[in-house]
Structure 1
Amino acid sequence: MQIDALSRRLIDRFQHGMPLCAEPYRAMAEALGCSEGEVLACLQCLEHNGGLSRIGPVFEHSRAGASTLVALAVPERRLEAVAEQINRLPEVNHNYLREHTYNLWFVLTGPDRAHIDALLRTIAAQTGLKPLDLPMRAAYRIDLGFPIGEAS
């Protein structure tokens, strides 16, 4: 995917935070020296071409509820069906296929640990598979962003 100059500037400037105001896209446009329409068109293009996965906050889950990393060992023939079942749960995010016996990995979030435990029981009952529950013990913060910079 080819990324144009405005997209590069937009990603570099805002991948670590958007303006917290009533009109964030307008504030982004002002910071970039373009129009709000150009910012929105740029974001739509990035999304359409697979260069943008989401726009939204990253929050400290322990302050807003509970979460856990979950893995399932899903037989290959059932993989698409089970992934679809899991994806229907609003508490699920970051669902990935991995090369391992435990091949489906996702994050569950909820208001408290009791809610997570109930979801794990529901998933086990619905899929017939035993979830591997891997709650976080400590967070080691890393910068997930990286500079896009100028095209080479």
Structure 2
Amino acid sequence: MLAQLQPLHKHLLNDYQQDFPLSPTPYRDIAEQLGVSEDEVLHAFEELSAQRMISRIGPVIAPNSIGSSALVAMAVPEHDLARVAELVSAYPEVNHNYERENRFNLWFVAVADDEPQLNAVIAEIETRSGYPAMTLPMLADYFINLGFEMNLHD
């Protein structure tokens, strides 16, 4: 699928996974670096989002350094997994969720301003989904760099 993308899309995906400009005008900065207009950059990011090639543009902050966060697991019957995953993803406090091959098959990370708000969000997800959630405390902090170098020449 990467080979079908326009060169601008490929550069945005490859070059700005990390080191996104920290300025009042980051999209203009990117446009200047790539020799295109700011509108072209914004439109390309909108297209990548619509194609679900990116889910968000934002910082990665160490867990619990600002606010409160938790890894949460749920056991959801296969026939209801898509509905519950969509419900979970709709919460702005959830930065990603994913399926695992396990009895606990839906996992997500939730972040809130403080622990009471975090607990309230998780409780609401339980109520709305109809399934209990298991909150897992962080015992050790590991950082996995999820930046992937892409071959822009395909």
TM-score bucket of the superposed structures, by smaller chain: 0.7 to 0.9
Which residue of structure 2 aligns with residue 72 of structure 1? Answer: 74
- Say yes or no: does 1:144 pair with 2:146: yes
The one-letter code of the counterpart of 2:55 is: S
What TM-score, normalized by structure 2, do the two folds share? Answer: 0.80
- In the TM superposition, 1:124-143 aligns within 5 A as 124-143=126-145
Q: 2:99 maps to which residue? A: 97
- Give CA-to-partner distance per residue, 1:71-110, whole Å, 9 cap, x none: 1111233334433443443322312232221111111212
How many Å separate the matches in 2 of 1:9 and 1:47? 15
Q: Percent of pairs identical after alignment?
A: 43
- The match for 1:59 is 61
Deviation at 1:27, TM superposition (A): 0.7
Name the larger-Rg structure: 1
Q: Distance in 2 between matches of 1:110 and 1:128?
A: 22
Query: How big is the alpha-carbon RMSD for the aligned residues of Structure 1 and Structure 2?
Result: 2.3
Q: Distance in 1 between matches of 2:90 and 2:8?
A: 35
Q: Which amino acid in structure 1 is aligned with residue 144 of structure 2?
A: I
SS at match of 2:64: helix
In structure 2, the residue matched to 1:15 is 17
TM-score (norm 1): 0.81
- The 1:135/1:33 distance shift into structure 2, 3 A limit, reads same
| Letter paired with 1:10 | L
Equivalenced residue count is: 152
> How big is the shift at 1:60?
2.3
Cα 1:99/1:23, change in 2 over 3 Å: same
Q: Taking structure 1 as reference, are residues 48 and 117 closer, same or farther at Cα in structure 2, changes over 3 Å only?
A: closer
CA contact (8 A) 1:9 1:149 kept: no
Classify the secondary structure of the residue corresponding to 2:11. helix
Counterpart Cα distance in 1 of 2:15 and 2:96? 24
**Are 2:89 and 2:96, in contact at CA under 8 Å, matched by a contact in 1?**
no
Deviation at 1:139, TM superposition (A): 1.9
Q: Shift in Å at residue 125 of structure 1? A: 4.2
* Structure 2: segments with no counterpart, 5+ residues: none
SS in 2 for 1:43: helix
